[in-house]
Structure 1
Amino acid sequence: MKIGTLDVWPPVVLAPMAGITNIGFRTLCREQGGGLFVSEMITSRALVERVPLTFHMIRFGEHETPRSIQLYGVDPVIIGRAARMIHEEDLADHIDLNFGCPVPKVTRRGGGSALPYKRNLLRAILREAVANAGPLPVTMKMRKGIDEDHLTYLDAGRIAAEEGVAAVALHARTARQHYGGTADWDAIARLKEAVPEIPVLGNGDIWSADDALRMVERTGCDGVVVGRGCLGRPWLFRDLALAFDGSAERVRPDLGEVGDMMLRHAELLCEVIGSERYGLADFRKHIGWYLKGFEIGSDARRAFTAVTTLTELRDRLAELDRGQPWPEGVADGPRGKSGERAKVALPHGWLDDPCDMTVPGADAEDATSGG
């Protein structure tokens, strides 16, 4: 798969996930297989105002290439300035624009998955990003729309192609669906038919490499974006590399191998954060994902969440039944966020005029948030 000047093989992208896709997790996934690995989302305003936390979030490993940044923004001028910074200061090799975030604090201010409803504003943002990014490819990630009555993905895809965006990724759910229900893979097929001139990547309900192959076969998409499917399963990227190379081999680690992966992940987080205590505190959210399906016991699970040093973690891992086999079936399926929303939080009057060019207020991008 070719995205602008980048050759991406296997055609797999790690979705940016807040609090997850830092250097440590990206390194862990890269060790398993190839693809494009995107940083946590940062706001364009925080970048141009040089907020220290933002620059901390977009650090890359010494050998990490290509370097991918995901930008969130609502103002074409600020997005353009951010894209120019990334290009001129060599901050990354690829810019992905976020129009898919469904969380209320973003959509109620007109950002994320709410913004593509404003077609002209979307066009202006994409135009500024592409014009200022120089040779760097600009891509965008989006959802189907706000809800089933306000679908935007086909218009947004056509606008992106017209404005020189190098590829588009579709999470095949609406903002109202959040992470609940079933992803509408047929929408990915319709988007590919609408914009055959650029790569289309599919996202949603890819829990295994075979899911990815089924998505590509069913929709004709050029590649896949993996988010929740790799939580506690970084070896999914090894499976994806094998699958796209035509191999039927799949990774089925026993509990000992999973434990080794957990330790490697924790070590990377401690190194990135610079503290065992805080690195292991950050690692706690991953423990349940790694151990899903294995017979561990509630006391042992609680003990893992209480460790404060790598030595303690090694001791707890040594107590596991390392030979316990991979729990087929039970270990697969959804992890991470789930559930639908009753409605999508939007600015007052947001749905009145899809052609309105009014830029949401400055509070739509919290410059002090770091992203």
Structure 2
Amino acid sequence: MTATLTTPALQVGQYRVDPPVVLAPMAGITNVAFRKLCQEYGAGLYVCEMITARAVVERHPGTMHMMTFAAGEYPRSMQLYGVDPATMREAVKIIVGEGLADHIDQNYGCPVAKVTRKGGGSALPYKRNLFGNIVRASVEAAEPAGVPVTVKFRVGIDDDHHTYLDAGRIAEAEGAVAVSLHARTAAQRYSGQADWSHIARLKEAVTGIPVLGNGDIFTAADATRMVEETGCDGVVVGRGCLGRPWLFGELEAAFQGRPAPEPPNLGEVARVLRRHTELLIEHDGHDKAMRDIRKHMAWYFMGFPVGSELRRSFATVSSLDQLDDLIGKLEHDAPFPADALGPRGRQGSPGKVTLPHGWLDDPDDPCVPEGADMMHSGG
């Protein structure tokens, strides 16, 4: 599909994002290697893996390594998670004071039980005052350095407890320069279908800053349709690019009204896979890189005629030489499968959201939830 709408560039503070496309942070995925690979296909805003505020304050070595950006990566976009305004303020001061990032995004979308049971992730925006205090502390700490702050959240805890309209208004009032909505509740997790009508409602409620939409963007046509249907100012792409970093080239073409590039055949996919592996080796060293690339294999080869034995070998690859040998056994001329454009990555099933005892009693309680600062995925 070729886009028929004219979509202006997304403005994130002083940064112009054209096309208006953002790579969603994904734990264990959007490291510097994957971001660089995606950026080679198209422009946009590429956000690093989520970083916890407490880990920054404590200067955790693994976290500091995760905060790596490639030479020329600009703006350097970092997603930061925290549940305590004081900790978040201190972490942002460190980041901007030491010039570690050019843009900070905050995540309140995680639906994982070990996070929500302590009041973190997608449970936190229910506490309106606490949520506002965290955003305000971050903005105040980032403002002297001119670093813009954006905020991402979900529709709410479940269908009986929607929080996104309040969260959007609060984030705007406290100085965030853009908001992003994953159009699912925490109870949905990644199952079912994202309800884009909520993105349209948020766009109506938040009028002074850009509103971005997230959820079920698996093709460039999905992205342009979301903009047309909701009026959102940009899109956030997560699972749709797993094993398909060239999706960003397709998105750029669509938003610029150009014909979509030809999808890659299996030989080209193998070349991209090897490039991904090389970039991981540069970042993490050979052994860790070979372990890390294994989880990408099923995504890269989704729908292609790759036999079960060869798939197993790719999934247990342990060296670059072995990878080259396996790539040589592929049917390089095999065309990209039309049925491989749908959902990929985690989906799971909906379920009751685990919350702290009495969490829903008082949405105006500003108290910091105990023990919610931990490492976890985005949402």
For the criterion TM > 0.5, the same-fold answer is yes
Contact kept, 8 Å, 2:126 with 2:163, in 1: the verdict is yes
Does the alignment pair 1:19 with 2:28? yes
Contact kept, 8 Å, 2:26 with 2:377, in 1: the verdict is no
- For residues 291-347 of structure 1, the C-alpha deviation after alignment (integer angstroms, 9 at most, x for no partner) is 01111110110111222111110111111111011111x111111110233201111
State the aligned residue count.
Answer: 367
Map of 2:197 onto structure 1: 186
**Secondary structure in structure 1 of the residue aligned to 2:181:** strand
Aligned counterpart for 1:177 among listed residues 173, 179, 188: 188
Contact kept, 8 Å, 1:146 with 1:175, in 2: the verdict is yes
Aligned counterpart for 1:119 among listed residues 119, 128, 137: 128
The more displaced of 204-213 and 54-63 is 54-63
Q: What are the within-5 Å matches in structure 2 for residues 335-350 of structure 1?
A: 335-350=344-359
Does the alignment pair 1:366 with 2:374? yes
The alpha carbon displacement at 1:246 in A equals 0.7
- TM-score w.r.t. the length of structure 2 is 0.95
- The structure-2 alpha-carbon separation of the partners of 1:370 and 1:296, relative to structure 1 and needing over 3 Å to count, comes to closer
- Aligned partners of 2:352 and 2:259: how far apart in 1? 42
Q: Quick one: percent identity of the two aligned structures?
A: 60
* Structure 1 consecutive aligned stretches of length 4 or more whose deviation exceeds 4 Å: none
- Aligned partners of 2:44 and 2:365: how far apart in 1? 38
Map of 1:4 onto structure 2: 13
Q: What are the within-5 Å matches in structure 2 for residues 24-35 of structure 1?
A: 24-35=33-44
Aligned residues: CA RMSD: 1.3
The alpha carbon displacement at 1:171 in A equals 0.2
The alpha carbon displacement at 1:82 in A equals 1.1
Does the alignment pair 1:85 with 2:56? no
The alpha carbon displacement at 1:164 in A equals 1.0
- Aligned partners of 2:44 and 2:319: how far apart in 1? 32
Map of 2:159 onto structure 1: 148
Q: What are the within-5 Å matches in structure 2 for residues 207-356 of structure 1?
A: 207-275=218-286, 277-328=287-338, 330-356=339-365
- Aligned partners of 1:110 and 1:5: how far apart in 2? 33
The alpha carbon displacement at 1:63 in A equals 1.5
The aligned amino acid for 1:365 is D
Map of 1:137 onto structure 2: 148
The alpha carbon displacement at 1:110 in A equals 0.8
Contact kept, 8 Å, 2:265 with 2:334, in 1: the verdict is yes
- Aligned partners of 1:205 and 1:9: how far apart in 2? 21
The aligned amino acid for 2:69 is F
- For residues 35-80 of structure 1, the C-alpha deviation after alignment (integer angstroms, 9 at most, x for no partner) is 1111111110110111111101111111111101111110011111
The aligned amino acid for 1:112 is G
Map of 1:357 onto structure 2: 366
**Secondary structure in structure 1 of the residue aligned to 2:185:** coil
**Secondary structure in structure 1 of the residue aligned to 2:228:** helix
- Aligned partners of 2:197 and 2:42: how far apart in 1? 28
- The structure-2 alpha-carbon separation of the partners of 1:248 and 1:139, relative to structure 1 and needing over 3 Å to count, comes to same
Does the alignment pair 1:61 with 2:52? no
The aligned amino acid for 1:215 is M
Contact kept, 8 Å, 1:43 with 1:370, in 2: the verdict is no
The alpha carbon displacement at 1:370 in A equals 11
